[in-house]
Structure 1
Amino acid sequence: MANILLHLLPATLYLALAWACHGAHAQATNRKLMLALLPAAIVAHALALSETLFANAGLNLGFASSLSLTLWLAMLVYGLESLLTPLPQLLRIAAPVAAAASLLPLLLSGHPQTIALHGWAHKAHIVVALLAYGLYTLAIFHALLLVATERRLHRPPAPGQQAGLPLLTQERLLFRLVQTAFVFLSLTILSGALFSNEIFGKPFVLTHKAVFGFAAWALFAILLIGRHLRGWRGNTAIRWMLAGFFFLVLAYTGSRFVLEFVLGRSL
């Protein structure tokens, strides 16, 4: 029962946050509520995750816990980002997804892989990889908000609708996230290839996870080059971003899903 309540609490807080940010509710009267709910939800989510991730010796990373951890990191980064650039409209998209993700470890037990954390290189590799996932997840939410903003510009505003950031400002924030995430993804791939013995205890092997990771890196690299040289924006940029994120999800989370729920094993 305590475990159920532990996961229900962050989900409830995230949903309350999404409500507070929606439509006419996202006015000055609710800003204090939003400021209180966001850190409370992040802390509650962290407590629920700690119960799941550190149940045994090592780190229990499965399909459900990986998704939940990725969404927690995305919300944490948003919380830090919002100190400089508040964007409550983003929470209308992100908070319900985070609520669902916080419940996943409770609903889908699967066969999580227990990773023994040995040495600084292994720990650093995992931290950097998780940061890349979290930042790219938040970038996807930014991209969805950008699409919604573009569509809203072509129709009259609804009564009580809150004005958001200008489109170009949102786009700059999006690519700042993508660039930062690309640095972390590059470090993840580079460390995994160069320090494979120290991290995994065996020489580097080109597995399906590595192939998907390289494919994601290449697509994000093309996106950033296209942005710099050709000024890519709008639908063109978002299509490349979604394609890169798709391969990034396949690289670990998709592999975990197949192992745990199709093959029924952890390795």
Structure 2
Amino acid sequence: MKWFKPLKSVALSALISVSGLVSMQAKAELGYPEKEELRFGFIKLTDMAPIAIAYEKGYFEDEGLYVTIEAQANWKVLLDGVIDGRLDGAHMLAGQPIAATMGYGTKAEIITPFSMDLNGNGITVSNEIWKQMKPNIPKRADGKPQHPIKADALKPVVEKYKDDGKPFNMGMVFPVSTHNYELRYWLAAGGIHPGYYAPHKGDTSGQINADALLSVTPPPQMPATMEAGTIYGYCVGEPWNQQAVFKNIGVPVVTDYEIWKDNPEKVFGIT
């Protein structure tokens, strides 16, 4: 696989074209890229915008790079594409380079030359769950719900589902995503057990002793999955929280900025 050699100059050229943080003199010293034709992957989320803008505005061509961008089915497919060389780089979850380098999943050294965004996620629940939560939410003087909305308001709803023998299912995008951590933190802060992982025992479901069962759902599929009743809520980036509003199927209850201010959300990843 000698053809697959994403070297430092390629990475730096891509970094320059998107971020513009390197001076013209430093750029000139890089010389010509070893590989001019590149394929970058992304998931259909608002925070892939830096790649889309660079592509549409011709910034890649300005650096002598001919880039094709391709939507990927899910985060695992995207990461595997970068590792096996099908993709030369990609819009990634901030946790993916760390997890891959540690050997969680497919082991590979993934480098992050720059961050693509901070925050950007939200937690949305279905209209039916929102209806059941509302009586438990403190009100402002004008009668509207007091924000940020805590998971305390969801706890009686989850307990009722458990008493009725019904699993309370929620979606997140990937085990090592900040969405997973944010949703778990929000639930736990409200007294709802989000479940344990036990990889040393062969259990990577993350649902051990869980009150709310969290499962992986690709971002573009979340609104439809919630509308079908398979999950009752989810944590995802835009535009999929607002999609629930536009389709009148759900209500965003909290943003990740209110859970974890300025958290690293997406990065650009290469080998």
- TM-score greater than 0.5 by the shorter chain: no
Bigger proportion of residues as helix: 1
More relative contact order, 1 or 2 (CA 8 Å, 6+ apart): 2
When normalised by structure 2's length, the TM-score is 0.26
TM-score, normalisation: structure 1: 0.26
- Look at both structures and tell me which one has the larger radius of gyration over its CA atoms: 2
